[in-house]
Amino acid sequence: MTQDELKTLVGQAALQFVPAGGIVGVGTGSTVDKFIDALAASGLQIKGAVSSSVRSTERMKALGIQVLEAGEVESLPVYIDGADEIDHGGHMVKGGGAALTREKIVADLAERFVCIADESKLVPVLGQFPLPVEVIPMAAAQIARRFAAMGATATLRAGVITDNSCQILDVRGLQIKDPKAFEAEVNQWPGVVTVGVFARNRASVCLLGTSTGVKTLS
């Protein structure tokens, strides 16, 4: 199966977690696009969705799915999103699509995070994928120096301004052995809007697309 077919497979498998008549949190990315398409085609009746990006909002609206503001809900039964990397503890690196801040906000509203990914995303230790960090532009150089002091290299993602009018640093050369401590540390640095480690908001369930079908990790 191609990577695209694996994404379609897990996008469809995620439908089992969508509560009929409920509100679902929706992430961002090519795998989530498959989920949105499957949701629209399924005929499942939901009250609406809270979106994590302009990209997902536009796709859902075009397919007739009602999109609600995050501020309109107190909690969500489930948040469905992809990942750039996931480890066996459900900790993730996210933000390849630059939507990490809104993704973390919507994930934080949810009782359950269902991660959908093809099997290439499962890693023993986070850090091979360049870690996205959303930053306030005037702090970018200082934050890059802090990563350099850790032995890593942070580069500004060229031509990208986030939905929140900020910039993205991509950080290479990390081995994130304690994701929770790492997330807490980097979150304290002035000018960091969001670090792309999702440890506090880790996945409760991961639907992994493999050549032999969907594997559920929980």
Considering only 8, 12, 31, 167, the residue that binds ligand 5RP (CB under 6 A) is 31
- Catalytic: which of 103, 111, 119, 183? 103
Residues 3, 55, 167, CA angle at the centre, nearest 5°? Answer: 100
Query: Measured over all CA atoms, what is the biggest interatomic distance in the chain, rounded to whole angstroms?
Result: 52
Name which of 10, 33, 34, 17 is nearest 119 in CA terms. 10
Considering only 11, 90, 96, 209, the residue that binds ligand 5RP (CB under 6 A) is 96
Q: Is 179 in the site for ligand 5RP (CB under 6 A)?
A: no
Q: Is 94 in the site for ligand 5RP (CB under 6 A)?
A: yes
Put the strands of the sheet holding 78-81 in their side by side order: 67-68, 48-51, 23-26, 78-81, 113-118, 205-210, 213-217
Whether the CA torsion 56, 218, 182, 127 is positive or negative: it is negative
Q: Is 30 in the site for ligand 5RP (CB under 6 A)?
A: yes
Q: Is 28 in the site for ligand 5RP (CB under 6 A)?
A: yes
Q: Is 170 in the site for ligand 5RP (CB under 6 A)?
A: no
Is the CB of 79 or the CB of 147 nearer to ligand 5RP? 79
The nearest distance, CB 201 to ligand 5RP, in angstroms, is: 12
* Structural contact between residues 197 and 182, judged by C-beta atoms closer than 8 angstroms: yes
Q: Is 78 in the site for ligand 5RP (CB under 6 A)?
A: no
Q: Is 91 in the site for ligand 5RP (CB under 6 A)?
A: no
Give the interface segment with ligand 5RP, choosing from 27-35, 56-64, 69-77, 163-171 (CB under 6 A): 27-35
- Tell me, yes or no, if 69 is annotated catalytic: no
Name which of 36, 39, 19, 18 is nearest 27 in CA terms. 36
Looking only at the bridges linking them, the beta strands covering 213-217 and 205-210 are: antiparallel
The nearest distance, CB 32 to ligand 5RP, in angstroms, is: 6
Q: Which residues bind ligand 5RP (CB under 6 A)?
A: 27-31, 81-84, 94-100, 103
